[in-house]
């Protein structure tokens, strides 16, 4: 923390360059005001002044402090990203890459030692020279030279340099885990991958640029607020000139010098302008992105962070998000007088070669319920029938017998194809299991249906409460699943979801997002596969899993480095916290300015218009002490609010109406009360020390 503070102090002075200051129009006006009072102080040393030198130098120093405090707030927010960027940059280095021609791959695949065949034909080049589309080989113990899409092989990969997680992950070709990130390290085996990004445009390069905030673009809401602040600043600039003109006219009529000197009017302008929120606005946005980075989420768009706070429809994948992801066998349901043990025995045989969690749970349940020991299929005469997307069944053939296990309609077609009858009781049991939220698997032996296996989806603990919080925020939750409508409806009801999309295809997901957007909603979703890419590209907030494919990561505007589907809920909360923080500090700033008008203007104009003494309700000692107290408070309040801007306002669930009411009560009334107390205390201090 000390290092970040030292860097922020150094950067605060570096940002005094006019080019840097011009990026923030409100604070640029304060910067020009500080320059003007510096010139006035120099003139006062030469005997040309409209106020005592001590008063001018005090105003000058406070204005420069105000500029530096604003720079410090932004630098401190940026410092968090720079620290993370330094850690990421240390993971990025040039290494030797083994490049092979794509034509070599087919030849190597047929060789006894494919790796040796590839390495023998490979050419060593520097990773910095790799071009998109080139193919490289990476072996155990070597660093991945560039982002890539795996073409051959499977390996354990250490991604701790990117994700912070020490546990290695498996990356392989042909699935949703086929993306390789440059800078990670292969721990075992080997991989062949095609380069997916040009040098300087890799995933790691994007991360470094974003966390440094150098590439952060202002969001539409931020730009709109900045325009409002600029408009208010111009209005108060006109007001200040008008006050000077009125002062000159009144003083000339009375045959006196204008008591409203340029120094006081410059200070008054800075007090009236919305400098508090102007100084903190950029820091609030950067800090919001830093909170996402801290949650291990990379965002490639500041607009997406803000959109997350306005999201009102969430599309959530069922498996791994709402349910634990591994369905478990819960019961054997025999039909037409079949003994339950016989059903369990056949189900276990059909599942012995099924290495999925569901298949293993069937084996375990048969063993637990009936003591049927797990057998081996290595004996002669056993032939495994693997599961395929076309047949949607699996099983085993042995000794002239056929056992099949699969989806109800697939088994029905199989049985009827053999000339058998599909029992009405099996259809009824399958429907009952589906309506209860489970998945039915029908078991048949030699063309005869024995019964149904009830696979149960386990709803995650606490997920219903999470959805209740989202409902309180006015967010509609929609489950996306490949299950049939009956199963989807049961799980949605148990989890407390608003709606579901059953038997979801890539086209169905895309159509659903477009439909919600056409109705005026902002939609968020997660995805990890290539088939999710079209929907991710369409969604307003699209969170791709780091474990997913390159296509999914390129289509999304956020990447969850932890690959946790439930992270979407946390992202929405961080987005809403960003909006709440900006709204709260804007309310406080405007309320502050309102209070300063009543505190300072009457005291400043009393020499011109004595009747305004009645409005000097704070009984400030004199115009000089009032002005110094107000402008000093204006500088110090920026420092006081920096921790809140960086940490964010405490997130609370609630309706927009309740949140607005609380915001006005706490930050509106607080913003009015605090300046009166602080300015009066500072005025008394100025008089006590003899400054004014």
Give the pLDDT confidence score for residue 155 in this predicted structure: 86
Q: Which residue has the higher pLDDT, 684 or 92?
A: 684
3-class DSSP assignment, residue 370: helix
Tokens 């203007």, located at residue? 601
For the chain, the structural domain boundaries read 3-83+213-292+573-689, 96-144+147-196, 310-322+460-561, 327-458
Q: What is the pLDDT of residue 428?
A: 93
pLDDT: which is higher, 34 or 302: 34
- Min mean pLDDT across 398-412, 483-497, 636-650 is at 483-497
Per-chain mean pLDDT for the chain: 82
Pairwise CA distance, residues 634 & 271, whole Å: 6
Binding-site positions for Mg(2+) read 528, 532
CA distance 335 to 562: 45
In CATH, the number for domain 96-144+147-196 is: 2.70.150.10
- For tokens 């000159």, the residue is 248
The pLDDT value given to residue 214: 43
pLDDT tens track for 565-595? 678 788 888 888 888 898 899 899 888 888 8
Helix axis angle, 203-211 to 275-294, nearest 10°: 150
Distance from first CA to last CA of the chain, Å, rounded?
Answer: 38
Q: Give the model's confidence band at 296: pLDDT under 50 very low, under 70 low, under 90 confident, else very high.
A: confident
Candidate ranges 208-222, 373-387, 397-411, 615-629; pick with highest mean pLDDT:
397-411
Q: How far apart are CA 632 and CA 644, in angstroms?
A: 20
Q: List, in order, residues 6 or more apart from 651 with CB less than 8 Å away.
A: 573, 576, 577, 580
Q: What percent of the chain has pLDDT over 90?
A: 16
Question: Cβ-count burial of 362 within 10 angstroms (0-12 exposed, 13-18 middle, 19+ buried)?
Answer: buried
* Torsional class of 451: left (φ above 0), alpha (ψ -120 to 50), beta (otherwise): left
Task: Please give the residue that has the higher pLDDT: either 298 or 131.
Answer: 131
Over residues 304-351, the pLDDT tens digits come to 787 888 888 988 877 767 777 667 888 999 998 999 999 999 999 888
**Binding-site sequence positions:** 354, 358, 387-394, 405, 528, 532
Mean pLDDT of 447-467: 85
pLDDT at 88 (0 to 100): 62
pLDDT at 28: 92
Positive/negative CA dihedral, 362, 363, 364, 370: positive
At 446 the three-state DSSP class reads coil
Q: Tens digits of per-residue pLDDT, 171-189?
A: 887 766 778 888 788 888 8
Q: Regarding predicted confidence, which is higher, 486 or 337?
A: 337
Confidence of residue 464 (pLDDT cuts 50, 70, 90): confident
pLDDT digits (tens, 9 = 90+) for 9-27: 888 999 999 998 998 889 9
Confidence bin at 67 (pLDDT 50/70/90): very high
Q: Which of 135-144, 429-438, 522-531 has the highest mean pLDDT?
A: 135-144
Distance CA 584, CA 664 (A): 8
Q: Which is nearest to 265 in space by CA: 611, 623, 679?
A: 623
Does the pLDDT value for residue 538 go beyond 50? yes
Let me know if 317 is exposed, middle or buried by CB neighbors in 10 A (0-12, 13-18, 19+).
Answer: buried
Return the CATH fold of 327-458: Calcium-transporting ATPase, cytoplasmic domain N (3.40.1110)
Residue 84 — pLDDT band, cuts 50, 70, 90? low
| 654, pLDDT greater than 50 | yes
* Structure token digits, residue 3: 């290092």
How confident is the model over 344-363, as pLDDT tens digits? 999 998 888 777 778 888 98
Element (H, E) at 684: helix 669-689
Walk across the sheet containing 448-456 and list its strands.
328-334, 448-456, 438-445, 401-406, 393-398, 383-385
Alpha-carbon distance values, 452 to 187, 344, 366 (Å):
43, 10, 13
Q: At 39, is the pLDDT very low, low, confident or very high (cuts 50, 70, 90)?
A: very high
Assigned CATH for 310-322+460-561: 3.40.50.1000
Annotated binding site for ATP: 354, 358, 387-394, 405
Catalytic residue among 176, 317, 540, 560: 317
pLDDT given at position 120: 84
Chain centroid to CA 661: how far? 27
Q: What is the pLDDT of residue 86?
A: 66
Angle at 14 between CA 200 and CA 285, to 5 degrees: 65
Pairing status of strand 123-126 against strand 438-445: unpaired
* Per-residue pLDDT at 255: 58
pLDDT at 449: 94
Please give the average per-residue pLDDT across 83-93, as a whole number.
64
Distances (CA, A) of 10 to 23, 89, 232, 657: 19, 22, 31, 42
Q: What is the pLDDT of residue 49?
A: 73
| Complete DSSP assignment for 191-217 | EEEEE-S-TT-SHHHHHHHHHTTTTPP
* Cβ–Cβ under 8 Å, residues 484 and 407: no
pLDDT in tens, 405-420: 998 999 999 999 888 8
Known catalytic residue: 446?
A: no
Residue 211: the pLDDT is 58
Q: Model confidence at 215, in pLDDT bands (50, 70, 90)?
A: very low
Residue of higher predicted confidence among 321 and 61: 61
Locate 161 and state its tokens: 């340099």
Q: CA 638, 643, 646 angle in degrees (round to 5)? A: 105
In angstroms, the CA 392 to CA 402 distance is: 16
Residue 640 and residue 96: Cα distance in Å, rounded?
A: 51
- Judge contact between 575 and 306, C-beta under 8 A: yes
Who wins on pLDDT, 26 or 599? 26
Residues of the chain with pLDDT > 70: what percent? 88
Relative to beta strand 401-406, strand 393-398 is antiparallel
DSSP 3-state of 169: strand
pLDDT, position 380: 54
DSSP class of residue 442 equals E
- Residue 692's contacts (CB-CB under 8 Å, 6 or more residues apart) are 55, 621, 622, 624, 625, 627, 628, 686
> pLDDT digit string (tens) for 672-683?
899 989 998 998
């Amino acid at each position: 923390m000390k290092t970040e503070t030292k860097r922020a102090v150094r950067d605060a002075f570096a940002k005094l360059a006019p080019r840097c200051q011009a990026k923030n129009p409100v604070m640029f006006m304060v910067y020009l005001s500080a320059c003007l009072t510096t010139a006035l102080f120099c003139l006062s040393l030469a005997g040309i002044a409209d106020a005592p030198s001590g008063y001018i130098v005090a105003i000058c120093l406070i204005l420069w402090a105000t500029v530096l405090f604003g720079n410090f707030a932004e630098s401190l927010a940026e410092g968090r990203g720079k620290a993370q960027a330094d850690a990421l940059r240390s993971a990025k280095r040039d290494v030797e890459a083994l490049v092979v021609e794509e034509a070599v791959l087919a030849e190597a695949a047929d060789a006894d030692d494919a790796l040796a065949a590839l390495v023998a034909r490979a050419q060593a080049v520097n990773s910095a020279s790799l071009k998109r589309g080139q193919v490289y080989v990476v072996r155990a113990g070597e660093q991945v030279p560039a982002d890539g899409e795996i073409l051959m092989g499977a390996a354990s990969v250490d991604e701790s340099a990117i994700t912070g997680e020490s546990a290695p992950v498996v990356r392989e070709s042909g699935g949703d885990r086929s993306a390789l990130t440059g800078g990670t390290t292969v721990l075992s085996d080997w991989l062949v991958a095609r380069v997916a990004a040009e040098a300087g445009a890799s995933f790691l390069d994007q991360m470094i640029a974003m966390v440094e905030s150098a590439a952060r673009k202002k969001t539409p809401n931020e730009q709109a607020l900045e325009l409002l602040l600029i408009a208010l600043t111009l209005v108060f600039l006109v007001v200040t000139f008008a006050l000077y003109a009125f002062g000159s006219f009144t003083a000339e009529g009375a045959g006196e010098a204008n008591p409203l000197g340029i120094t006081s009017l410059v200070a008054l302008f800075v007090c009236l302008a919305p400098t508090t929120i102007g100084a903190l606005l950029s820091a609030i946005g950067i800090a919001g992105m830093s909170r996402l980075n801290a949650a291990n989420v990379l965002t490639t768009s500041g607009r997406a962070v803000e959109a997350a706070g306005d999201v009102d429809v969430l599309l959530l994948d069922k498996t791994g998000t709402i349910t634990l992801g591994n369905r478990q066998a819960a019961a054997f349901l025999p039909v037409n007088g079949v003994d339950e043990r016989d059903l369990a025995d056949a189900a276990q045989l059909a599942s012995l070669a099924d290495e999925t969690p569901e298949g293993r749970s069937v084996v375990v349940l048969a063993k637990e319920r009936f003591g049927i020991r797990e057998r081996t299929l290595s004996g002669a005469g056993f032939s495994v029938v693997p599961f395929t997307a076309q047949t949607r069944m699996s099983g085993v053939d042995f000794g002239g017998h056929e056992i099949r296990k699969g989806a109800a309609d697939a088994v029905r077609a199989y049985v009827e194809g053999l000339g058998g009858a599909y029992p009405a009781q099996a259809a009824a049991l399958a429907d009952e299991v589906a309506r209860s939220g489970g998945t039915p698997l029908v078991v048949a032996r030699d063309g005869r249906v024995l019964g149904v296996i009830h696979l149960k989806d386990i709803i995650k603990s606490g997920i219903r409460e999470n959805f209740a919080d989202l409902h309180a925020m006015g967010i509609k939750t929609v489950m996306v699943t490949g299950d049939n409508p009956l199963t989807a409806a049961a799980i949605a009801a148990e989890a407390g979801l608003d709606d579901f999309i059953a038997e979801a295809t890539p086209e169905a997901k895309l159509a659903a997002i477009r439909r919600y957007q056409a109705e005026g909603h902002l939609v968020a979703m997660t995805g990890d596969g290539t088939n999710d890419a079209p929907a991710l590209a369409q969604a307003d907030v699209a969170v791709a899993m780091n474990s997913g494919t390159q296509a999914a990561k390129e289509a999304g505007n956020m990447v969850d480095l932890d690959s946790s589907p439930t992270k979407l809920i946390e992202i929405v909360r961080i987005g809403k916290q960003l909006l709440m923080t900006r709204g709260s500090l804007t309310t406080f700033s405007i309320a502050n300015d309102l209070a300063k008008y009543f505190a300072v203007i009457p005291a400043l104009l009393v020499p011109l218009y004595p009747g305004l003494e009645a409005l000097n309700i704070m009984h400030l000692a004199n115009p000089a002490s009032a002005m110094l107290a107000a402008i000093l408070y204006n500088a110090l309040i920026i420092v006081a609010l920096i921790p809140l801007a960086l940490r964010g306002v405490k997130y609370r669930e609630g309706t927009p109406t309740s949140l607005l009411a609380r915001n006005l009560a706490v930050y509106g009334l607080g913003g009015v009360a605090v300046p009166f107390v602080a300015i009066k205390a500072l005025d008394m201090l100025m008089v006590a020390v003899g400054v004014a």
